[in-house]
Each structure stands twice: as C-alpha cells, then as structure tokens.
Structure 1
C-alpha cells in the first residue's frame, strides 16, 4: 500500500481545508442545526465554484472523476468541520447510483447538474421498523400501465427539502432482492414531508407516499437490479463516511488536547494529570489507526482491489473511534462540554448519529463476518429489524 500522497491529493486537502475554514465554521454548523432545508448557501456556492460537488461524477459528464483515495482526503477535511448539507447524499450516493445504474439518457440529464450544483438528488431508502438489508425495503411499487404507483413511508431522508429529485428504493417482487431504484420528482403529487428532529440536529425527513405516480421510464437499470446496484454504491460510500468520521475524531481530539493545555485545575493544566494524559494518548493511537484503515480501504478501491471487507471495517472502526474519542473528550471537558457554547458537544452528538446512519455497527459486523467466515458458503445476512 502506497500512502505517499500525490501533489494533487495534497492540493485537494489544502483546498478543502481552506474552503471549510472560511465557509463551514462552527457558526455555520450551528446555524444549520434543525434547519428545514439544511442547505448552507454560501458553502454550496463555493463548492460549485471549486468543482467539489462533482468529485465522483465522471469527467465526461462534467465532473472531476476522482478516485476513492482522492475523495477520502477531501471527506476527511469535511469531517474536521462537520460540514453540513446534502453533499454526501447528492454528490456521493446519488452520483454513485446514477453512474452505476442509470441509462445513458438519465446520466446525461442528471449527472452534469449534480456536478454543477444545479440539481440536488438524495436517496430515500430506510423504512420504519425495517432493517438495512434488501428485506428492509418493503414499500411496494405497483405497475399500472406506464406508471409505478407508490404507497408507503421512507424515513431518515437527509436534506429532502433541498432536493429536486429523489432516488427511492422500492419493492417490485416477492424475492428478497426484488428491489428497484426509481427517480421521483421531489414535488410529486401525493408526497408529504415531515421533518424529523435527531440528536445531531441535522436535517432529516420522513416521507409519506400516497399514490405517488412515477413513470416506468424513471427506473434506474434493469428490473430487479436495484438492490445489487445500491449495495455496491453503499460499499463505496461508507469508505467516504469513514473518512468523514476519522476527520471528525481527529478534530475532536485536537480540541480536547488544546483545552487540556489551557484549562487549569489545582494550579496546573489538566493535561498534566496522568489519567487524562493517558486518555488522550490512547485516543491518539486509535485515531491514527482509524485513519490508516480508511486510507487502506480507499487505496484498495482506487487500484481495483476487493473492498468487501475493508469498506465495512473502515466505517465500523472509524465511527466507533469517533464515538469513543468524543465521549472521552466530554469527560476531559467535564460538564461544561455539554453546554451549547462549547464546540465539542457538536462533535459528540454527530459521532453517535454517524455510527447509526448508512449501515450501523451490527450490520457492518455481519458484512465483515460474511466475508471472513463464509467465503465458500455464502449465507443470508440476518435482518432482525425487518417486519
């Protein structure tokens, strides 16, 4: 594994760090908390200008066409500042889904708009009381003539009000993986939006579909191929979520180290107390390990190696590290760390949220177990939350 970053990757890191410092500070993160749209306009405009919105869009469609290691460098910097908005949903997951499953016409219609920021497209995937696997997709798409008719509920749809299009996972058959991806107009008749308030105060919506009609031509890919495409996109996307978590963990640790130098107790800095110093040394070791695992997964993807195990490992470990480091950070800060005036609580709340989103720890552990234990005897990953 060669982790000597290229001049171009270092340029991406510096550019993203400077952009986030200027347009995605903690004031912007606070302003976006529970915002009904969740779109930081100045930050989004800068991302449009620098081309960051097209990092995964192929060059032929107006994007940058970066590899996974290039993107991981960028997402790590975004994690440091808890960059808000629909970037991951639209520029990562929607771009991946359209690139993998979309027809030539669908790609040409939407990918340039995603890359330029003209259009925002977000996935609508999870359902109440259902799990993360294919069996968790239970919302039926009934074919009537040339239209699909959708009835059901999707939840945890990030920045849905900012989107012009949704990529909706629907069930079109009785087989476990009989799932399709449909492009749905975000303003379609029969679609109701209800904002969900989360511990991270990010912008999420519960979407209710009441006889929503979608042209059959809006299906991405062949009939019944939706889950395979989505599963592949998720394996790619979680590498970048892991990079975001690693960046957040590093920044939370940096904040805590600085606080331990500035805050005095019994006439000496907190960092001079052995127990607290050991907490931070353990955290430093773990954060470095998380970053290396993320880089390995991103590098492996970039050179065409199998990431069926590395991608879930990266998200599992990086998100656990983010959660554990922010928990330690709160202990070092004491009760004052939970007050809204201090930034560390912003990291603490988002760390747990990220651990639960886009495949939680249990599902990631099952994916890893399936790869290391069942290579010669594939098994069905249990989905205990599916009704």
Structure 2
C-alpha cells in the first residue's frame, strides 16, 4: 500500500542488504524504471494507494540513500514522525466531526425542538469533545518530545493507539447523532469515518502500538 505512487517521480524502497537483523538499506527508485509495476487500489478511504511490484529491477550504486545497512535507524524516525503526523490529522478530523455534529444538533428538529436540546445528543457531543481534546493533548506532548530530541517511544505509541481509537469513537457518535444522512455520499460524515479507518492502520495500528507500550512498561 504505497500512497500516491501513481503520481510520484521517485519511490523510496526499503531492502534487506545483509544477513544481520538490522541490515536494511534505503534506495531511491525512479517510478518509471523498467520492471516497476503499479496498480491503483480501491480502498475504504478512497485515498489513492497503489500496489507496487518489482520484476528484475536493477539500480546503480548511486541510488543508495544514506549508509548501507543503516536504513533501519532512518525508518524508525520516519515511523515515529509519521505516526504523530497521523495523530495530528486524526485530531483535526475529530474536531471537524465534532463541529459539524454540534451545528447539526442545533438545526435538526424532532418533536418540535432541536435535537441538541435532548440530553442523549448533548452527552454524545460532550463525549466527542472530551475525546478530541484528549487527542490533541497527547499528540502535542509526543510531538514536542520528538521535536526536542527527547526519548519518546512510549509517548508516540500511546498517542497513536489512543488517538486512533478516540477518532473512531468520535465518528461513531457523529453517525449516531446525524442518523441516516451521515451515511450518504452527499454528506461529509461518511468521509471522515472512512478516513478514520485508514488513518488507524497507517504507521502501525492500535494493537501494534499497545504492544509497544506494554513492552516499554515492562510487560
């Protein structure tokens, strides 16, 4: 699943270049090279990911990115920053879902009054707001620690696991509050739900990051 490969000029390829556990290297590959095949995939989020396969692709030594057998260190950095970037995306998505749900609750009427006057909808929106604020804070903390060069493996894993689940909860409550209109293609609610699932899987899903947290705290 390679995002936007169909419009890229180059693809960064990860390859094993030795027998050691961490003997991984990175290479810059022109996307139109002979033997590179791309297939645009249909995904739940409609986010234009491609399957990229290689058939006897040859690269010159100059295509090596960084040092040979030292690529895993770079990958770890990319995964951490990518995970936090996704957390920021999900936090923003959750805020948008909350905003549209609150506005909808003010305008949609049932039994002669706005649905936002009913306690059930009020509590839905309150829970959504709590999840959104929590997602922002845990994301900010992890992002700050990374930017300061501090050890942040635990904070990044906590953020990615928690924000992924929080975003899904926000979308679920948004759907409950919107009712049937939220499931139609004409309404943006469904787009956020589909993107929430894709964002959860990017840079490691919740289970992967929960496993990391458990290991870090000594379990």
The match for 1:247 is 92
- Looking at structure 1, the residues matched to 211 and 73 of structure 2 have their Cα atoms a distance apart, in angstroms, of 17
Counterpart selection for 1:343 from 173, 188, 210: 188
Do the aligned residues in 1 keep the contact of 2:6 with 2:40 (CA within 8 Å)? no
Structure 1 residue 302: Cα displacement: 2.5
Write out aligned runs for 1:1-387 (5 A). 156-373=1-218
- Looking at structure 2, the residues matched to 249 and 320 of structure 1 have their Cα atoms a distance apart, in angstroms, of 11
Question: How many residue pairs get matched?
Answer: 219
Once superposed, what is the RMSD of the aligned Cα atoms?
1.3
The TM-score, its normalising length taken from structure 2, stands at 0.95
Do the aligned residues in 2 keep the contact of 1:246 with 1:319 (CA within 8 Å)? no
Q: Which runs of 5+ in 2 are unaligned?
A: none
- Looking at structure 2, the residues matched to 346 and 178 of structure 1 have their Cα atoms a distance apart, in angstroms, of 40
Structure 1 residue 232: Cα displacement: 1.9
- Looking at structure 1, the residues matched to 120 and 22 of structure 2 have their Cα atoms a distance apart, in angstroms, of 51
Structure 1 residue 360: Cα displacement: 1.0
The TM-score, its normalising length taken from structure 1, stands at 0.55
Structure 1 residue 239: Cα displacement: 1.2
Cα-to-partner distance string for 1:261-317 (whole Å, 9 max, x where unaligned): 110111111111111211111111111111011111112222332111111211222
Partner SS for 1:193: strand
By relative contact order (CA 8 Å, sep 6+), the higher-ranking structure is 2
Structure 1 residue 215: Cα displacement: 1.1
Structure 1 residue 201: Cα displacement: 0.6
Q: Which runs of 5+ in 1 are unaligned?
A: 1-155, 375-387
